[in-house]
Amino acid sequence: MSTEKKRNKKKNRTIMRSVILLLLVAAIGYTIYNSVTADEVEVLKVGDPAPDFTLTDLDGKTHKLSDYKGQGVFLNFWGTWCEPCIKEMPAMASQYDVYEDQGVQILAVNIAQSNFEVETFARQYGLDFPIVIDRDKSVMTAYNIRPLPTTMLVNPQGEIQRIVTGEMTEQDIAGFMEEIKPE
């Protein structure tokens, strides 16, 4: 191999290493910048007032959480692709039929899916409680929702009474609705 080829090979290796190093430094810098400038999202706790929001359901009706003051609200965050969400929806529908007349409402907050996907899902499972879509994920962010499903039980005074992450059985749902039922 000629000296010229060796020099070119060494030069190419040096350039490649420099590019990789530069990319690593940029990635680390971006990560540090994001963590320093990230908005502080306060983690909600039991006893905190539930952040108010207004979202629109599949029929075009607006739902404002504060309009439900005096009632218990079973605030469920979900997605059509979420297996545990799919499993608990029929149980929620069944318990909604029992507790709606007792002052417990369900607001199912879908996370940024299309009307078509959500309407198809609701028809498939015969869901008759209000389903709203959080198109820009602002409500999800305000409630600091991480895993789906997550359910916030809001008591008649508008405070978070319980935070439930993961799939619920029908028995769980009935017990939770009983907890937030107005007296």
Helix (H) or strand (E) holding 32: helix 3-37
Question: pLDDT tens digits, the chain, 183 residues: what are they?
Answer: 677 777 778 888 888 888 787 877 776 777 676 665 555 556 889 999 999 999 999 999 999 999 999 999 999 999 999 999 999 999 999 999 999 999 999 999 999 999 999 999 999 999 999 999 999 999 999 999 989 999 999 999 999 999 999 999 999 999 999 999 998
Residue 6 domain boundaries: 1-38
CB atoms within 10 A of CB 156: 18
- Considering the domain architecture, whether residues 75 and 52 belong to the same structural domain is answered as yes
Query: pTM for this structure?
Result: 0.77
Pair (117, 158) in one structural domain: yes
Rounded to whole angstroms, the Cα distance separating 81 from 73 reads 24
Strand partners, 160: 154
Q: Is residue 110 part of a domain?
A: yes
Block residue for tokens 């590019």: 19
Q: Is residue 173 part of a domain?
A: yes
Q: Please state, as a whole number, how many other Cβ atoms lie within 10 Å of the Cβ of residue 164.
A: 16
Q: Are 129 and 49 in contact (CB under 8 A)?
A: no
Please state whether beta strands 104-111 and 72-78 pair in parallel, antiparallel, or not at all (unpaired).
parallel
Domains in the chain: how many in total? Answer: 2
CA angle 108–113–115, rounded 5-degree value: 85
